[in-house]
Structure formats: structure tokens, C-alpha cells
């Protein structure tokens, strides 16, 4: 079953569309990536997915329902967690306070995963009382993922989780994403330009060029690695 779908979405910020006739499907339990060079429309697609931007045409389906007209808050309560590009953790709040806000955004009803977040990311556990703004890029990324995960979403959206993160931590975060998927069962859709993260964490990969999906490949297939490289190399 598809947990999430975009069907023939056209969207943009003014008269010229950025996304053109984009269709994409994420099966329940999958980890799917979306790759493409700078400015092709990856973040725009993520904003459509969480509901920060409305499509001009097409629809957004989540868990069997049409959520196109639902705002971001409502989608969060329905079970979509979102980590924006650049992370946007609250810099003057502690790690713990950031997680509490994430838990509230996810709404009542769902079990909160504080213990799991601290288990997957021990660095956060060690820094519960540290202000988020004083942490490294990688630690802030872990916190941003934790903030989205703590509400126990069915679908986790990550926009360039490797950006501004040192290579060893990129590997660590890609492994945690895989484990979260396997152990908690969270379905994941992430945007990346980092080949290692894409190869490590996803089992299906959409390729975007100039606002259109041009290919869908399998990171597990050796032949497809060159396709992925081609669309990520700057």
C-alpha cells in the first residue's frame, strides 16, 4: 500500500510553475530518496508534501485520504513529521525543550518516543540541557530528526539531512535513519545531494530535473549507482 502519493502536482510561487506534473509514491515501510541538483525543486516538493505550499494542480494523498487542502499543522497531527532544510532547531532552547515542542506538534493520541530518540542519538542524551544553538551541525541535525520523530509519525520527511554535517556524522545519521525505519517502522522520504547517504539509507530513489521527475532507480542495483552519481555530482 502507498502511504504517501503526489499525483500530477504542478506548483510554484508565482506565475511560473516550479514543479511540473510531478507524481511520486512512497510505499508503507519504505525509505525513498529524491535527488537532483541545486534549484531543481526538491524543497518545493517537500513543502507540498507537508502542506506549507498548495499545489495549483494535482493532489496529495496520505494514508488513503486526500490531504491536499490540509495545512501543515493538521498533517503533522495526522502523522507526518518534517525536518526542513537547514534544520531550524530553536537555538535558545535546550535539546529537551526542542523535543517537547516536537511532541506537541505531533498532537495527542500518539505515544511519545523520548526514550527512543535518546537511544538512537546518545549525543542528544548527553546534551539534554544544552542550548541547541551551541551544538555542531551534525548534532543539530540529530535534534531536528529527534524533534520530528518524538511524536511517532508514520511518515518522516527529511530535506537534505547531510547538509553542513561532517562526513563521519553523515554515515552515522544515515544508519540511524535505516534503524528507525526497520525497528520503529517509520516510512521515510528524504531529499539528498549526498551519494553516500542516498546509497546507504534508501531502497528506492527518484531523480528530479528542472521540476520534473525523470527517473526512478534502485540504489541497491550497481548499474543505477552511476545514474545517481550523475544527478548528484555538482
Ligand X SMILES: Nc1ncnc2c1ncn2[C@@H]1O[C@H](COP(=O)(O)OP(=O)(O)OP(=O)(O)O)[C@@H](O)[C@H]1O
Point out which residues bind Mg ion (CB under 5 A): 42-43, 85
- Positive or negative, the CA dihedral 124, 127, 133, 136 is negative
**Is residue 38 within the footprint of ligand X (CB under 6 A)?**
yes
Task: Name which of 32 and 95 has its Cβ closer to Mg ion.
Answer: 32
Parallel, antiparallel or unpaired: strands 57-62 and 2-12: antiparallel
Q: How far apart are CA 202 and CA 177, in angstroms?
A: 9
Task: Name which of 43 and 186 has its Cβ closer to Mg ion.
Answer: 43
Tell me which of ligand X, Mg ion, none is bound by residue 113, counting a contact when its beta carbon lies within the kind-specific cut-off of 5 to 8 angstroms: none
Binder of ligand X out of 33, 43, 141, 204 (CB under 6 A): 43
Task: Name which of 43 and 194 has its Cβ closer to Mg ion.
Answer: 43
Tell me which of Mg ion, ligand X, none is bound by residue 38, counting a contact when its beta carbon lies within the kind-specific cut-off of 5 to 8 angstroms: ligand X
In degrees and rounded to multiples of 5, residue 182 shows phi and psi of -75, -40
Q: To 5 degrees, how large is the angle CA 133–CA 176–CA 215?
A: 100
Binder of ligand X out of 3, 6, 24, 44 (CB under 6 A): 44
Segment interacting with ligand X, rule: CB under 6 A, options 25-33, 34-42, 74-82, 115-123: 34-42
Task: Name which of 40 and 113 has its Cβ closer to ligand X.
Answer: 40
**Is residue 16 within the footprint of ligand X (CB under 6 A)?**
no
Contacts to ligand X from residues 73-102, by CB under 6 A = 85
- Number of neighbours of residue 192 by Cβ within 10 angstroms: 27
> For residues 154 and 186, is the Cβ–Cβ distance under 8 A?
yes
Q: How far apart are CA 11 and CA 19, in angstroms?
A: 5
**Is residue 42 within the footprint of ligand X (CB under 6 A)?**
yes
**Is residue 39 within the footprint of ligand X (CB under 6 A)?**
yes
Of the candidates 40, 159, 142, the residue with the CA atom closest to the CA atom of residue 95:
142
Q: How far apart are CA 118 and CA 139, in angstroms?
A: 12
Segment interacting with ligand X, rule: CB under 6 A, options 38-46, 119-127, 149-157, 217-225: 38-46
Binding site for ligand X (CB under 6 A): 13, 18, 36, 38-44, 85
Amino acid at each position: 500500500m502507498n502511504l504517501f502519493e503526489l499525483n500530477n502536482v504542478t506548483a510554484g510561487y508565482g506565475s511560473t510553475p516550479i514543479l511540473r506534473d510531478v507524481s511520486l509514491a512512497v510505499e508503507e515501510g519504505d525509505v525513498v530518496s529524491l535527488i537532483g541538483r541545486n534549484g531543481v525543486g526538491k524543497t518545493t516538493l517537500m513543502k507540498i508534501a507537508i502542506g506549507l505550499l498548495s499545489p495549483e494542480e494535482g493532489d496529495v494523498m496520505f494514508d488513503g485520504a486526500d490531504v491536499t487542502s490540509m495545512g501543515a499543522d493538521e498533517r503533522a497531527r495526522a502523522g507526518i513529521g518534517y525536518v526542513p532544510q537547514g534544520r531550524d532547531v530553536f537555538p535558545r532552547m535546550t535539546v529537551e525543550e526542542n523535543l517537547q515542542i516536537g511532541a506537541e506538534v505531533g498532537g495527542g493520541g500518539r505515544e511519545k518516543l523520548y526514550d527512543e530518540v535518546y537511544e538512537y542519538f546518545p549525543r542528544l542524551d548527553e546534551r539534554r540541557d544544552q542550548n541547541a544553538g551551541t551544538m555542531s551541525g551534525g548534532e543539530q541535525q540529530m535534534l531536528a530528526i529527534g524533534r520530528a520523530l518524538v511524536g511517532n509519525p508514520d511518515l518522516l520527511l527529511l530535506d537534505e539531512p547531510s547538509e553542513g554535517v561532517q562526513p563521519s556524522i553523515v554515515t552515522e545519521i544515515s544508519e540511524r535513519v535505516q534503524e528507525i525505519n526497520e525497528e520503529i517502522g517509520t516510512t521515510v522520504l528524504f531529499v539528498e545531494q549526498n551519494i553516500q547517504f542516498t546509497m546507504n539509507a534508501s531502497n528506492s530513489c527518484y531523480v528530479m530535473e528542472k521540476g520534473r521527475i525523470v527517473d526512478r532507480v534502485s540504489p541497491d542495483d550497481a548499474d543505477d549507482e552511476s545514474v545517481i552519481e550523475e544527478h548528484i555530482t555538482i
